[in-house]
Amino acid sequence: MDFSAEAWTGPPEGAVGEWKLNVPEAAAAGPKKIDPDALMQYFEQLYETPNQVQEKFLYVLALFLVQKRRLKLEGSRSEDQTSYLQLSGTHGEGNFDIRDQNLEEAEIEALQQQLNTQFLEEWE
């Protein structure tokens, strides 16, 4: 049987034992995790309709998906002094050639933050 502290008048007759337990307050929800499959869909959309503005996002998103093991690096190639990452999806998605953006670490972090903000706003 369960009783609140206010309603507790003592153990009922014939009780074998009793104990008190404090139920902790519900913890605040931590940061929402971004679903790699949803990111993969976004990646494929960006890949199909690339533009110069989104090309950096596409590159950072590709790196993130490689890190999350949703894309795998198959190799790299060079064409006209431009390097490309050759990627494929781990669920059989096609081959993707992503131009290496040669970004500084700070710029990658800033783009990651923008992507996180964008996804969290869209999902709420």
Angle between helices 52-67 and 36-48 (to 10 degrees): 150
The Cα 19–Cα 95 span in angstroms is 61
Average pLDDT across the chain, whole number:
85
The Cα 11–Cα 45 span in angstroms is 64
**Which H or E run contains 46?**
helix 36-48
Q: Which residue has the tokens 């199909």?
A: 48
Could you report the per-residue pLDDT of 76-111, keeping only the tens digit for each? 999 998 999 999 999 988 899 999 988 898 998 898
Could you report the per-residue pLDDT of 6-33, keeping only the tens digit for each? 888 888 888 888 888 787 888 766 666 7
- What's the average model confidence in pLDDT over 40-57? 86
The tokens of 11 are what? 């153990």
The Cα 53–Cα 57 span in angstroms is 8
The Cα 96–Cα 44 span in angstroms is 9
pLDDT at residue 52 is higher than 90: no
